[in-house]
Chain A
């Protein structure tokens, strides 16, 4: 072992000094720390204690409540409700727990065997795996009726029985043999142990087994009742929540859902909202919208889409503070205020111009037709009082509860329920004749006294243009030509004018342009010579004849027609059409909507007078084609139209659809009172037949409704009358 050189030169004195210095430095260090400790614990201790009491401070996104859509009198057309769904979390479920879990749920909810079997199979497949929750049931009953969204009321418990095979609920049999809700006579059901109402298919039975399949019935109490439909329910959400300890694998999720209480009545105006999809959630650079998050809802059609930004409001932040038992102190409040959470700006509510009484009247008046639209405008303001398109759809189904079958049924319908026909272009036919008449008068081609002979047809360019009255109208002047809707007269006017003059004045009168309504609308078409030559094939002079009677390639939307006639009714000034009365924030009106200006048609007063004379004769003269729109006590002006619109049906269409599609479109537009017009109503019945026969009565009913109410003082509020229960689409 090599000896180590231990005991080197060692200046103990020098080290003594160093040791003292070292001890002093250590002391200094600890003194500094002690001073800091004093500062932190004693001087600022109280404040830090407050901060420490805050267990968690978090800012979370606070969703802005979506604004409501209200009718003209404040009726709620679209509101927000809570919707609950029961989810089962597969990753928390062990395979052997599936059966007991379903049995527990069965005791809490009315589940049919089929539902249980389906859920059981799904759960056994996913048990223990991380996957999306299995949705056991949507629309759990809690506060609103799942059938008509009415708020449920609490009642004394009523007994009911549930069949787990067919899913029917049986109420105890009533003392009398009529349905307690609709007073219909009850008829025996199944094996005769029970009775049911043929109208509302409500079932009654006191038996132990289901009258249909003899399954033993499951009895229980119901404590909620829908004041609208009279059905009784149990609060399923409360039941599930109170049994949460038995269901660790399940959770009830709440979402805000848009609810449209009037269902089919104004769905094309309102549109619907649905949850954002992957397309909406695309990042900004891919054309997406950065505003949206996963559970957001977005307006898809109608006003929900058009006003989406205003209705949506601005999401803000909420400061969540979890603190312990210390008393609240102002400096903590200050600290939280310093966090500056973004405030939530609630969405604006929109009060619409729609008059629901008229809307209902139109719906009833159209009950017998397959497809069409009714529009009514306030002549003085351009406010849309009525906009109904048939067939309609239930926006509630689209707002999250849409089943595949339902969507398939709507998509395959030949009547296009989702299409807003009030804003869809159709050949206007004779209602367009006012353009030919006005152009003729303005250009001097025709005078009120000009008489043409109508033999029932007009030969032009080697082709025979037929009048709708094949036997001919004989000699007619302008007023009679408008009143009887004589095609030959207007063929001649059109021939003299040429297609471009017609298109020019048509545009001046408001055809072929946007009406200004907030919804997405088609503008229709006013063909010109240039339009035909620019890619639409050949122009030939005969086209100006068809254009003059609103056929050929001329198209217009019912709303456009309404606006044009409103313009004529108010002496040549076209109104800007709007659906919005005003926006409201917290019940108070906010900044009035910026509206487009009214536009003069630039027609001479004499021209307007002559047109009105003709339009008055249509309804009020015995020779007129629109006499079915006559109203006692009110003079009505109007114009009929019957558009040739035969379409080839798809090859697999049933024969009645093929026949339907061959028929003409029926138009009628009317305004009243003739002396001081207030309202203009347009009805279009797609493939409905003759305008005077089919469309005029619809307009007449709407006008009658309008004036009947106006006649009664103080009865202008439609909310005063009971809402008809029959809001469902027949």
Chain B
């Protein structure tokens, strides 16, 4: 069995070990968060991790042909689902994101990220030409990115839509773009940002978060007339209170975390950082780095453009969610509703990450098959 032999490669062991570590950390963290209140997120998350493990495992052994064949129908189906979300979903927190399927709720935008990766990889792979790509030839890929971006953005879900944009952008850059196109689009971006700010495309609550973030420096915190502290402030204080080695669970339990909203989803890292401190959190970062290194390593060893692109896409998915979420919790970035891969509670998110890893594993296991 060549696949088993491949699995035993050190790089794969590193990657899968990192994934398992993150999963374990997620369970530990959610178990701790559940002890703050009377919640049971860690159990549900465990179920989702198992479901993710199965679907990721299945994806890892599925033939790449089938995956590629399913890319286009899945993409179209998800676009339809996203439209259905806009039409039928019941708003939760002023945002329509979830579709109800009986007892389960599904967030199509999460799976859209994965679908965009596959679709882009497929489109690039089908193209006869190699890099560098110019803006004229990038029409299709850009369309594939912008349609879901637009649909998710009007939900409104700025975080996920930006994530789709970041993943797509990363994949395009990874594929290779001509220098003129890069400079040109950078200039266009610079022009678009103020335009989006003033034209109402950026909603008021989003502006508020940016303003909140901008006022998050030390002096502002001290002189603010607070009652009570804002969410990012509390997150920042929770992270800061971890110090070098963390407060430990008993101490952290009675800390600011009790009053931190969304500590089980978007602000899960704040709980981790508060309990395990700088050392523990840096360790977690290291584990994430190991996972990303593995994905890119697999991409490096891939024998097909599609494989490399899928791995790079999966890596960018995990990377951007990780960076944006961690940056947000630590006050580097404004509050954007992006989850920390696996650590944040949420079925769709867990499934998406596990399936991306499954795709990477798929590539890793097939490395020798074609070679």
> Which of A's residues lie within 8 Å of B, judged by CB?
4-12, 14-16, 18-20, 22-23, 26-27, 29-30, 32-34, 36-38, 40-42, 44-49, 51-59, 324, 331, 334-335, 338-340
B328 CB → nearest A CB, Å: 11
Chain A residues in 8 Å Cβ range of B213: none
Q: Which residue of A lies closest to B64 (CB)?
A: A6
B207 CB → nearest A CB, Å: 23
* A52-B281 in contact (CB<8A): no
A48-B240 contact in complex given A37-B281, A37-B330, C-beta closer than 8 Å: yes
* B285-A55 in contact (CB<8A): no
Partner pick for B131 among A14, A40, A44, A338, CB 8 A cutoff: A14
* A41-B240 in contact (CB<8A): yes
Among B86-94, B99-107, B134-142, B216-224, the stretch that binds chain A is: B216-224
A489 CB → nearest B CB, Å: 77
- Complex interface residues of chain B between 301 and 346 (CB less than 8 A to chain A): 302-306, 308, 312, 315, 319, 323, 326-327, 330-332
Partner pick for B330 among A12, A14, A40, CB 8 A cutoff: A40
Partner pick for B242 among A7, A41, A59, A324, CB 8 A cutoff: A41
* B69-A4 in contact (CB<8A): yes
Known: A8-B304, A53-B256, A58-B228. 5 other contacts (CB 8 A): A8-B125, A9-B305, A19-B300, A51-B229, A57-B229
- Complex interface residues of chain B between 46 and 71 (CB less than 8 A to chain A): 64-65, 68-69
CA A652 to CA B292, docked complex, whole Å: 99
Among B3-11, B153-161, B190-198, B231-239, the stretch that binds chain A is: B231-239
Q: Can you sample 10 A-B contacts with CB below 8 Å?
A: A11-B130, A23-B297, A34-B282, A41-B240, A42-B244, A44-B240, A46-B243, A52-B255, A54-B229, A58-B227
Chain A residues in 8 Å Cβ range of B229: 51, 54, 57
* A36-B256 in contact (CB<8A): no
Partner pick for A36 among B128, B227, B332, CB 8 A cutoff: B332
CA A368 to CA B226, docked complex, whole Å: 65
- Complex interface residues of chain B between 157 and 184 (CB less than 8 A to chain A): 174, 176
B70 CB → nearest A CB, Å: 12
* A324-B227 in contact (CB<8A): no
In the complex, B293 has a CB within 8 A of chain A: yes
A334 CB → nearest B CB, Å: 7
Chain B residues in 8 Å Cβ range of A20: 300
Chain B residues in 8 Å Cβ range of A54: 229
B205 CB → nearest A CB, Å: 23
- Complex interface residues of chain B between 249 and 282 (CB less than 8 A to chain A): 254-256, 258-259, 273-274, 277-278, 281-282
> Which of B's residues lie within 8 Å of A, judged by CB?
64-65, 68-69, 125-128, 130-131, 174, 176, 218, 221-223, 225-229, 233-234, 236-244, 254-256, 258-259, 273-274, 277-278, 281-282, 285-286, 288-289, 292-293, 296-297, 299-300, 302-306, 308, 312, 315, 319, 323, 326-327, 330-332, 370
* B256-A55 in contact (CB<8A): yes
Partner pick for A10 among B64, B305, B327, CB 8 A cutoff: B305
* A324-B330 in contact (CB<8A): no
Q: Which residue of A lies closest to B300 (CB)?
A: A19
A4-B289 contact in complex given A29-B319, A48-B236, C-beta closer than 8 Å: no
Partner pick for B241 among A27, A36, A48, CB 8 A cutoff: A48
Chain A residues in 8 Å Cβ range of B327: 33, 36
Q: Which residue of A lies closest to B233 (CB)?
A: A51
CA A335 to CA B227, docked complex, whole Å: 12
Partner pick for B126 among A8, A34, A41, A53, CB 8 A cutoff: A8
Chain B residues in 8 Å Cβ range of A59: 225, 227
CA A58 to CA B293, docked complex, whole Å: 47
Chain A residues in 8 Å Cβ range of B127: 8
Chain A residues in 8 Å Cβ range of B226: 57, 339
Q: Secondary structure at chain B's binding surface: helix, strand, loop or mixed?
A: helix
CA A353 to CA B346, docked complex, whole Å: 75
CA A19 to CA B332, docked complex, whole Å: 26
Partner pick for A30 among B225, B285, B370, CB 8 A cutoff: B285
A124 CB → nearest B CB, Å: 34
B280 CB → nearest A CB, Å: 10
Q: Which of A9, A11, A26, A38 has the most CB of B within 10 A?
A: A26
Chain B residues in 8 Å Cβ range of A340: 225
Chain B residues in 8 Å Cβ range of A8: 125-128, 304-306
Chain B residues in 8 Å Cβ range of A5: 125-126
Chain B residues in 8 Å Cβ range of A339: 225-226
B304 CB → nearest A CB, Å: 6
B170 CB → nearest A CB, Å: 8
Chain A residues in 8 Å Cβ range of B128: 8-9
Chain A residues in 8 Å Cβ range of B64: 6
A45-B332 contact in complex given A40-B236, A56-B259, A338-B222, C-beta closer than 8 Å: no
CA A38 to CA B243, docked complex, whole Å: 9
B337 CB → nearest A CB, Å: 19
* A41-B243 in contact (CB<8A): yes
Q: Which residue of A lies closest to B260 (CB)?
A: A52
B133 CB → nearest A CB, Å: 12
A4 CB → nearest B CB, Å: 6
* A334-B222 in contact (CB<8A): yes
CA A8 to CA B305, docked complex, whole Å: 7
Chain A residues in 8 Å Cβ range of B308: 10, 15, 19
CA A517 to CA B110, docked complex, whole Å: 77
Q: Which residue of A lies closest to B225 (CB)?
A: A339
Q: Which of A30, A44, A335 has the most CB of B within 10 A?
A: A30
A613 CB → nearest B CB, Å: 73
Q: Which residue of B lies closest to A20 (CB)?
A: B300
CA A47 to CA B302, docked complex, whole Å: 49
Partner pick for A22 among B125, B174, B305, CB 8 A cutoff: B174
Closest 7 pairs between A and B when the two form their complex, measured CB to CB: A48-B240, A52-B237, A52-B241, A19-B300, A52-B256, A49-B241, A41-B278
Q: Which of B241, B258, B278, B370 has the most CB of A within 10 A?
A: B241
Chain A residues in 8 Å Cβ range of B233: 51
CA A54 to CA B237, docked complex, whole Å: 10
Chain B residues in 8 Å Cβ range of A51: 221, 229, 233, 237, 240, 256
CA A40 to CA B292, docked complex, whole Å: 24
Chain A residues in 8 Å Cβ range of B176: 14, 18
Chain B residues in 8 Å Cβ range of A53: 241, 255-256
CA A18 to CA B240, docked complex, whole Å: 36
Chain A residues in 8 Å Cβ range of B277: 41
B216 CB → nearest A CB, Å: 11
CA A551 to CA B228, docked complex, whole Å: 70
A324-B223 contact in complex given A8-B125, A45-B241, C-beta closer than 8 Å: no
A22 CB → nearest B CB, Å: 5
Q: Which residue of B lies closest to A18 (CB)?
A: B174
* A47-B319 in contact (CB<8A): no
CA A32 to CA B323, docked complex, whole Å: 9
Chain A residues in 8 Å Cβ range of B296: 19, 22-23, 26
CA A131 to CA B68, docked complex, whole Å: 63
B150 CB → nearest A CB, Å: 27
A40-B254 contact in complex given A10-B304, A15-B299, A33-B330, C-beta closer than 8 Å: no
CA A12 to CA B130, docked complex, whole Å: 11
A37-B227 contact in complex given A7-B370, A14-B131, C-beta closer than 8 Å: no
Chain A residues in 8 Å Cβ range of B239: 37, 40-41, 48
Chain B residues in 8 Å Cβ range of A47: 218, 240
CA A113 to CA B256, docked complex, whole Å: 52
Q: Which residue of A lies closest to B278 (CB)?
A: A41
CA A49 to CA B242, docked complex, whole Å: 8
Partner pick for A57 among B218, B228, B299, CB 8 A cutoff: B228
Chain A residues in 8 Å Cβ range of B69: 4
* A23-B293 in contact (CB<8A): yes
CA A46 to CA B227, docked complex, whole Å: 22
Q: Which of A5, A14, A15 has the most CB of B within 10 A?
A: A15
* B300-A29 in contact (CB<8A): no
CA A14 to CA B64, docked complex, whole Å: 23
* A30-B288 in contact (CB<8A): yes
A57 CB → nearest B CB, Å: 6
